[in-house]
Amino acid sequence: MKKVITYGTFDLLHNGHINILRRAKELGDHLTVAISTDEFNAIKNKKAYHSYENRKMILEAIRYVDEVIPEEDWEQKIDDVQKHDIDIFVMGDDWEGKFDFLKDYCEVIYLPRTVGISTTKIKKDLFKVNNG
């Protein structure tokens, strides 16, 4: 069984998230998503709208996602790949090159981001709509 893993905050779920989850799953038979905890988001200087529990529950409802685990720090990826017997690590190409150290442990694939959507854009557009 070919196992794939990807990481992220996945706040305010949108088509860009779904595209990468679908394409990550298509690369294998099983997709694990490591979702950033609220504490790790603070380290990433990100403030998610949905709590970790709600972002986890939402991800678990997606047909492409087989398992959801917490992402608590930058250092856990090698351990995750070994512990979960991962064959392929996938991230959007805004991270191109940043996780090449994992190539000693699994295949590393950066997929093109979906153009025109992001959680930040959603927040900005909503602010504009509500504030004239």
Residue 10 lies near ligand C2G (rule: CB under 6 A): yes
Please, what is the Cα angle at 99 between 97 and 105, to 5 degrees?
Answer: 125
Q: Is 13 exposed, middle or buried (0-12, 13-18, 19+ CB in 10 A)?
A: middle
| Cα gap 124→20, rounded to integer Å | 22
Residue 20 lies near ligand C2G (rule: CB under 6 A): yes
In the list 13, 18, 69, 117, the residue contacting ligand C2G (rule: CB under 6 A) is: 117
Reduced to 3 states (helix: H, G, I; strand: E, B; else coil), residue 66 is: coil
Binding mask 54-93 for ligand C2G (x = CB under 6 A): -----------------x-------------------xx-
Q: Interface with ligand C2G by CB under 6 A: which residues?
A: 7-10, 16-17, 20, 36, 44, 46, 71, 91-92, 94, 113-114, 117-118
